Chain A
């Protein structure tokens, strides 16, 4: 096996120390030793079939998925995990961005070289894998990271939570998800623990497995945590052997935390991060004030910049992401020369050091895992003949998800929510439509004449024509 990859070297080192330790469990079980054999076989396949192109892995959580990730690295190829929901448009964009790529369907073990005549993209030497992200702008991009960044992320969990070889992580959420990849694969590689894989997250299956005590650690996102809590409402036994419930990719509301404590028996750890940086802030399952996001995980520096509060949250990590991949360049401009990455979020910090992320700095809203570009919503609303200007922002709802909030400038009081909503529905998918509407005769504006967006984001109250109806969540 090619050991230029730090991920592969770390895996082999762990396999040397714990050859009979269980690396993967679930439908099939593999020791570190037997996993190494599988990875070697696949690496040969990728080496000859992928022809130097990056390897896109898609499919359900299977041992083949994990093997193919490490095999691609062992073959010296950049890995791009794609979700099962990847759209045709995203496949097409990928081809334009990276040229030829080898698609490996990890569910069925089938590989195809795609776009072989395309112009080959050259990646920097340290390139390990790319994760699709919308960043803070909502525009889909590929964030390029090194092998070291995944291992260092794993070490945050190793040192923060004490991951050990005896630990077993229930991996029911997709491994292509940045949060799960970092916690599960990164954590396993540096600690020697076991990954218990299920193809997908099914609440009653996860409930049964947790009651059987198969896992000491379970990563969840807020929606899956709610579903799991609902499954445990049957009054049966709580999970056995469970040490850590880690909820990432979304805030933990006080109500959700209460449900998790009541039904699953533990205070959940909170987790914040990005495809670009991996997990950076969080807690380890202690009780913290409502709304708090966490503190910097081991090895992470966090800073809140700017004079106003909330300010702009910056993160510095060892092995920062290498940049966004475009057809002609790797754009690393989001990371400053001294390594600070702008998260695109507003945040505050209290006297005890707890950081609270309060909202998005710029564009890019996130609701239930779906990304919404405010600019797209603004364009759709702005072409209504009675609308003179539009600002769309996000605001957190009771579940901690972004609500799409539209601020409409109009000279007429005849314009109703129904008018603009029906108009926007001609151009936007349903989930992008604003839930909250405000109408104004005159927007607050900067000296340059542009709408003063900070007034809308920071909840100031400029002169309004009338308040709108609000969503039922508020």
Chain B
């Protein structure tokens, strides 16, 4: 899970073009801390889908998905597992 979190941190910095190191991204309240709006959310989701080879369902699209690194990484991990089982 830590590996996914670390990858998510890097992805957030790159996607949002943040002037900080990935390690400086906290665990929670990312919407406010990083200034993520609806378009920023879609930019992040698109990059996550490409990087982790998963599909984020429309029903799951919500700011709460990305607001906490724990929630976000757990979702990515679950999606990866589901994709692996399908194969």
A425 near B20 with CB under 8 A, answer yes
| B42 interface residue (CB < 8 Å to A) | yes
Residues A65-123 near B (CB distance < 8 A):
83-85, 87
- Mark each residue of chain A from 112 to 143: 1 if its CB lies under 8 Å from any CB of chain B, else 0: 00000000000000000000000000000000
A83 near B38 with CB under 8 A, answer yes
Q: Which residues of B contact A203 (CB under 8 A)?
A: 42, 46
| A435 interface residue (CB < 8 Å to B) | yes
Q: Which residues of B contact A223 (CB under 8 A)?
A: 39-40, 42-43
Contact A227 to B42, CB < 8 A, known contacts A202-B61, A205-B58, A430-B33? yes
| A368 interface residue (CB < 8 Å to B) | yes
Q: Which residues of B contact A404 (CB under 8 A)?
A: 19
- Mark each residue of chain A from 280 to 324: 1 if its CB lies under 8 Å from any CB of chain B, else 0: 000000000000000000000000000000000000000000000
B38 near A84 with CB under 8 A, answer yes
| A466 interface residue (CB < 8 Å to B) | no
B58 near A369 with CB under 8 A, answer no
B28 shortest CB reach to chain A, Å: 13
Q: Which residues of A contact B40 (CB under 8 A)?
A: 223, 368-369
B63 shortest CB reach to chain A, Å: 7
| B37 interface residue (CB < 8 Å to A) | yes
Report the Cα distance A473→B18, complex, angstroms: 11
Q: How many A-B residue pairs have CB under 8 A?
A: 80
Choice from B19, B25, B37 contacting A435 with Cβ under 8 Å = B19
B38 near A174 with CB under 8 A, answer yes
A379 shortest CB reach to chain B, Å: 18
A368 near B39 with CB under 8 A, answer yes
| B16 interface residue (CB < 8 Å to A) | yes
B29 (CB) vs chain A CBs: closest residue: A429
A41 shortest CB reach to chain B, Å: 28
A246 shortest CB reach to chain B, Å: 16
A433 (CB) vs chain B CBs: closest residue: B19
Contact A369 to B37, CB < 8 A, known contacts A85-B63, A425-B20, A430-B24? yes
B50 (CB) vs chain A CBs: closest residue: A230
A417 shortest CB reach to chain B, Å: 10
A87 shortest CB reach to chain B, Å: 7
Q: Which residues of A contact B39 (CB under 8 A)?
A: 173, 201, 221, 223-224, 227, 368-369
Q: Which residues of A contact B37 (CB under 8 A)?
A: 83, 85, 368-370
| A471 interface residue (CB < 8 Å to B) | yes
A201 near B38 with CB under 8 A, answer yes
| B86 interface residue (CB < 8 Å to A) | no
A275 shortest CB reach to chain B, Å: 15
Residues B8-47 near A (CB distance < 8 A):
16-20, 24-25, 31-40, 42-43, 46
A88 (CB) vs chain B CBs: closest residue: B32
B20 (CB) vs chain A CBs: closest residue: A430
Q: List 21 A-B contacts (CB under 8 A).
A: A83-B38, A85-B37, A85-B63, A87-B32, A200-B38, A200-B42, A200-B61, A202-B58, A224-B42, A227-B43, A227-B46, A231-B46, A369-B37, A369-B39, A430-B24, A430-B25, A430-B33, A430-B35, A433-B20, A435-B17, A473-B17
- Chain A residues in contact with chain B, CB under 8 A? 83-85, 87, 173-174, 200-203, 205, 221, 223-224, 227, 230-231, 368-370, 404, 421, 425, 429-435, 471, 473
Given A83-B38, A200-B38, A223-B42, 16 new contacts (CB under 8 A) = A85-B31, A85-B38, A173-B38, A174-B38, A200-B42, A203-B46, A221-B39, A224-B42, A368-B35, A368-B39, A369-B39, A370-B37, A429-B32, A432-B35, A433-B18, A433-B20
